[in-house]
Amino acid sequence: MEDSLGQKWKNREFALVSVADLSSVSSSASPGIARFDSNGLQIHQQSQQIPFNVDLRTSQLFRLGSVQSVCMVEDSDADQKISYSKGVTIQFRNEEESAAFHSVVQQWKKEANVQGTYYAAVIENRADFNGRIVVDVGAGSGILSLFAAQAGAKHVYAVEASEMAEYARKLIAGNPTLAQRITVIKGKVEDVELPEKADILISEPMGTLLVNERMLESYVIARDRFLTPTGKMFPGVGRIHMAPFTDEYLFIEIANKALFWQQQNYYGVDLTPLHGTAFQGYFSQVSYQLVFQNIGVDIEMHCRGSNWQTEFGRDINNFIHYCLQPLGIYLLSVPVVDAFDPRLLIAPPMFHVIDFTKIKEEELYEIDIPLRFIASVGARVHGLACWFDVLFNGSTVQRWLTTAPGSPTTHWYQLRCVLSQPIYVMAGQEITGRLHLIAHNAQSYTIYLTLSAKMWGPGAEQGGILQTSSCKLDLKEPYYRMSQPQAYALAQDQQPQPLIQTQDIHIQSQELDEPDIMQQPSPNRCAQIDSLMQNV
């Protein structure tokens, strides 16, 4: 379970050069403080005793400049039954603090969206929790345990293996009316013993692509050890959604990372001998030993001046994590985590269901998903886009938590697997393939992806595969491409389509915050990348 908002943003303050109340004619600007807490944001003005309270879920925040912003909230007069807007302008000391403030706001909203869904799923299904025994698996700060107690649980056992258990005890103790029905147990679900069986399991076991961090296995173990045969799991079902995408910007960005290895004088070292290997490495696994022997000593001077052989014990994974990734250098192919424009999807998505109430632990060690899509438009397919959702199957209300593109952004974002060589498809052409996930000891998965374009048009039934492209990716430490979805121009033969509305999930479009309008890459640039790939 992720840290609660109260713990994550507690004591996060920003000094303000000036704060001015827009709703008061007599108010003058004066210095102040912006402070985040579990309820949202408070803006304190030195000249005013009462802070300006901001509910970040409903308020609107606009940048007026590099260091100045305005915050608008809706309010009402209970006596006169009048609704109105009020706001404040705030000015930061510099651009860095302004950017950090807005970053915290975005992270708060992402976390609030997830926890708000959990809270609604629990409170709307009080009948499932009232008078029942609940186990919170991987309790983290204990926020879900408090939700369960609010819904009337007879007793909640909050099981947490990490040091977060101490924070959970403090948070729960601070809510004495609920604390008497919650017991925090520090330990792994595989090892701890509980005095009674549970009627409800609640947890946030999801990672990137649903399965990263392999917390689902602990969730299933807790089910087998603690849950009664008729018990419920919140959530009870997860779905991995997949669709092919086209994104020239992303493809060129990844290809350009190989330009680092075209330097002939990097601290006196010629890196060009590894250019071909490194280029392929951004799309598929490279030889660790080759990279380790050829560049480790030379980059050592750029890694805090330490002796990499001694500090990292010749562990290439530590070397890559601590030395190369901070420089933006990725030597093996990793999936991309970001929020993207859903119009980049070129076919309706499909999904793979994981039923947490039935799946066996060993079935999570290897997940094999056959792929089949029908292209909606003609495009270059650059890879496979993935996201997930989970179902809280309550007796009263069924509620979904989704990470789909176009829906409110969560801290999971979406994930994209980029092929080493794009494939070309026409509208109506069939795309087949396979997404194969194999668990490894680093609490994550190796991803094997293959996509193929089949023959299309008259006589396609007798035809075979025209193009095939594949990649091998490590889910453990993806490339976090933290940018807002870009506004892409549609191709001439592409029409807007509601591609990600699947079954019972309705996803509404989301207004993008200050999108950067980008032009499509030139055909010459795309041709240069294709030529480069064919020559390495």
The per-residue pLDDT for range 311-363, each reduced to its tens digit, is 444 444 455 455 555 544 444 477 999 999 999 999 999 999 999 999 999 99
Span 289-295, average pLDDT: 36
Q: Which residues contact 136 (CB under 8 A, 6 or more apart)?
A: 1, 142, 144, 145, 148, 156, 157, 158, 159, 202, 203
Task: Encode pLDDT of 466-484 as tens digits.
Answer: 789 998 999 988 888 865 4
Query: Do residues 171 and 141 lie in contact, with contact meaning Cβ atoms separated by under 8 Å?
Result: yes
HSE-CB of 146 using CA atoms within 13 angstroms: 17
Total Cβ atoms within 10 A of residue 264: 8
Query: Do residues 238 and 356 lie in contact, with contact meaning Cβ atoms separated by under 8 Å?
Result: yes
- What was the pLDDT predicted at 255? 76
- Residue 241 binned pLDDT confidence (cut-offs 50, 70, 90): very high
Distance CA 438, CA 351 (A): 18
Bridge-partner residues for 437, per DSSP? 367, 447
Name which of 62, 66, 9, 20 is nearest 43 in CA terms.
Answer: 20
Distance CA 306, CA 300 (A): 7
Span 264-268, average pLDDT: 81
Query: Do residues 487 and 515 lie in contact, with contact meaning Cβ atoms separated by under 8 Å?
Result: yes
Phi, psi for 335 (deg, rounded to 5): -70, 160
Total Cβ atoms within 10 A of residue 501: 16
Span 222-231, average pLDDT: 97
The DSSP letter of residue 178 is H
Is the pLDDT confidence value at 24 over 50?
yes
Which is more confidently placed, 109 or 413?
Answer: 413
Positions marked catalytic: 204, 213
Q: What percent of the chain has pLDDT over 90?
A: 46
State the pairing for strand pair 68-77/379-393.
unpaired
Q: In Å, what is the CA distance from 267 to each residue of 84, 258, 468?
A: 61, 18, 40
485 upstream amide cis, omega within 30 of 0:
no
Both tokens assigned to 301: 């001077």
Which is more confidently placed, 246 or 76?
Answer: 246
Distance CA 221, CA 161 (A): 14
Q: Which residues contact 28 (CB under 8 A, 6 or more apart)?
A: 20, 47
- What was the pLDDT predicted at 85? 73
Distance CA 342, CA 417 (A): 15
Distance CA 395, CA 398 (A): 8
| Tokens 């919170």 found at | 136
Query: Do residues 345 and 498 lie in contact, with contact meaning Cβ atoms separated by under 8 Å?
Result: no
Q: In Å, what is the CA distance from 292 to each residue of 138, 234, 311, 438?
A: 37, 45, 14, 25
Both tokens assigned to 56: 């970040």
Distance CA 317, CA 310 (A): 14
